[in-house]
Structure 1
Amino acid sequence: MTVRTTLAITLAALSLAGCTTFGDAPLAKVEQNIVTVQAWGGTPADPARVRAHTIDHITLHHQGEPFKAGTDPRAYLRKLQTWSRNTKNWADIPYHYIIDLDGNIYGGRDIAFAGDTNTEYDPKGHALIEVVGNFEEVQPNSKQLDAVVDLMALLAAKHKVPVDRIHGHKDYAHTACPGANLYRYLENGYFHQRVTERLARAQ
């Protein structure tokens, strides 16, 4: 089966599953709906500990751990921020944006500053998106997929990132991240096609 055929089957299956609402809101509305660090109870990073950068890539990650329904994403983010600073000695949460089970998008590390990673690649220049859950074990739901498309399109438009610079963590490092069940939407072209369509409608 070719990648093109696989993509067509994937798009058809998602449409039947009700995954047809992405792209309804203008990109400006997507940005307005991002939950700020202040709103989820976080604090800004120490500017003396961060690296400034210019975004030229968009890179997808997963949490890599189970995220059970009913878990409070704000509490998760506060815990992640504390762990990142106190245990990893990072300036802040490693990701710029985090997407929960309901497709809500949360701000993380300030996009003006390079993220961090446990692996060997340098994420300077990368806009880092984390989707909660372990996608080696579970499937992303339709709300998460729609939110990924919306956020990738917003970042591509805002930072003038070509769609062919949208990749997954495993494309730069020896890791399973963002998990096989999420990575396949990069591998089969689903995200690239949907982001391209989203950007065309945003013109």
Structure 2
Amino acid sequence: MRRRTFLLGSVAVVVPPAELSVRTCQDWQARPPAQELVTVHRRPSRILVHHTATENVEDYSIGHAYDLARWIQDLHMDRNGWVDSGQHFTNSRGGVLMEGRHGSFEALRAGDQIVVGAHCPGQNDVAIGIENEGLYVAVEPPQQQWDSLVAFCAHACDRYNIPASEIFGHRDFTVTQCPGDALYALLPRLRSEVAGQFR
């Protein structure tokens, strides 16, 4: 994918995408990882969309988003035995984007590396995982969350040179219901809206 190019008179001007607003692990007061995380110095090749399969709450505040991020990290570290949050990023129902696994935002900004995650077997060092708060088996995400997901995917595609066609659901790579039938059915629209950011 390419950044947008416009003609200004006879000069082509490349316009970088807007900076993405992401709350870091420090912002939501994450626990430190249980051990050193591994960073692979190559670009990921796809994005995997997940849902948290939690209640579809109406609290869209930043405070709730931070509580969610801490709850996910506690679950992944204390119950699953992982060294940190498994996913790279989390998107609350209010559209608050947060770094999940430590170092993921720095890797995204660098555009040439990925922190090895724990969100999907066989994909953890080649795919960026983004968790979307909620249960999307029968209902679709709220507009704020959808807009945030589109913005995140467009930014990640730009930074990592990932084609919009390489946005998938968790279930495409393992046996799971994630990201729910309703959100999974929206993936063609997501690819289309992300691709539209580069026309």
Shift of 1:166: 1.0
Give the Cα separation in 1 of the matches to 2:90 and 2:121.
21
Corresponding residue for 1:193?
192
Instruction: Tell me the secondary structure at the aligned position of residue 39 of structure 1.
Output: coil
Of 23, 30, 39, which residue of structure 2 is paired with 1:42? 30
Corresponding residue for 1:157?
158
Q: What is the TM-score normalised by the length of structure 2?
A: 0.78
Corresponding residue for 1:101?
93
Stretches of structure 1 that go unaligned for 5 or more consecutive residues are 1-25
157 and 78 in structure 1: CA distance in 2 versus 1, 3 angstrom threshold: same
Q: What is the TM-score normalised by the length of structure 1?
A: 0.76
After superposition, the CA RMSD in angstroms is: 1.9
Once the two structures are overlaid, the 10-residue window that deviates more, 177-186 or 66-75, is 66-75
Once the two structures are overlaid, the 10-residue window that deviates more, 189-198 or 71-80, is 71-80
Residue 113 (1) aligns with residue 128 (2) = no
Once the two structures are overlaid, the 10-residue window that deviates more, 176-185 or 104-113, is 104-113
Please list the CA deviations of residues 9-42 of structure 1 after superposition, one character each: whole Å capped at 9, or x if unmatched: xxxxxxxxxxxxxxxxx7333x2x2111111111
Shift of 1:46: 4.8
Once the two structures are overlaid, the 10-residue window that deviates more, 190-199 or 39-48, is 39-48
Aligned counterparts, 1:10-29, within 5 A: 27-29=17-19
Instruction: Tell me the secondary structure at the aligned position of residue 116 of structure 1.
Output: coil
Please list the CA deviations of residues 169-191 of structure 1 after superposition, one character each: whole Å capped at 9, or x if unmatched: 011011111001111111xx211
Shift of 1:146: 1.0
Say if 2:65 and 2:96, in contact at 8 Å, map to a contact too. no
Corresponding residue for 2:7?
none
Say if 1:27 and 1:150, in contact at 8 Å, map to a contact too. no
Q: What is the aligned residue count? A: 169
Corresponding residue for 1:51?
38
Please list the CA deviations of residues 78-116 of structure 1 after superposition, one character each: whole Å capped at 9, or x if unmatched: 121122112211111111111111111111113231211
Corresponding residue for 1:14?
none
Give the Cα separation in 1 of the matches to 2:151 and 2:32.
25
Give the Cα separation in 2 of the matches to 1:122 and 1:151.
19
Please identify which structure carries the higher strand content. Answer: 2
Corresponding residue for 1:90?
82
Instruction: Tell me the secondary structure at the aligned position of residue 37 of structure 1.
Output: coil
